[in-house]
Amino acid sequence: DQQVKQNSPSLSVQEGRISILNCDYTNSMFDYFLWYKKYPAEGPTFLISISSIKDKNEDGRFTVFLNKSAKHLSLHIVPSQPGDSAVYFCAASAGAQKLVFGQGTRLTINP
């Protein structure tokens, strides 16, 4: 009953290219979506978010896209840098503080 799914456990991208991380959800009550980034031996840190009333939110090199009809969101990182190598978690909430996370995708940026 995984409500938030990240189907790619890992992704490898060349430095300077675009990284695209994907996330699918099943609960139509989710109205806020977030991406967290996690380095080894550290806790997750908030990266970027999007409300369900929008379909795109951009912050520097990071852009999150939301497709409500497909119940799908994606995180684009361009250009990718070595420091972007981390585990990325997609998360969703339904009008409250409670977050539902996906399994995570390990992104490796190759020089």
Partner 1 sequence: DAGVIQSPRHEVTEMGQEVTLRCKPISGHNSLFWYRQTMMRGLELLIYFNNNVPIDDSGMPEDRFSAKMPNASFSTLKIQPSEPRDSAVYFCASQVSPGGPDEQFFGPGTRLTVL
3-state secondary structure of 28: coil
What is the 3-class SS of 49-93, one letter each residue? EEECCCCEEEECCEEEEEECCCCEEEEEECCCCHHHCEEEEEEEE
Q: Does 6 bind partner 1 (CB under 8 A)?
A: yes
Q: Could you identify the residue written with the tokens 């969703």?
A: 92
Size of the site for partner 1 (CB under 8 A): 23
Q: Does 110 bind partner 1 (CB under 8 A)?
A: no
- Interacting positions 39-98 with partner 1 (CB under 8 A): 41-46, 49, 89, 91, 93, 96-98
Q: Does 99 bind partner 1 (CB under 8 A)?
A: yes
Residues that bind partner 1 (CB under 8 A): 2, 6, 32, 34, 41-46, 49, 89, 91, 93, 96-104
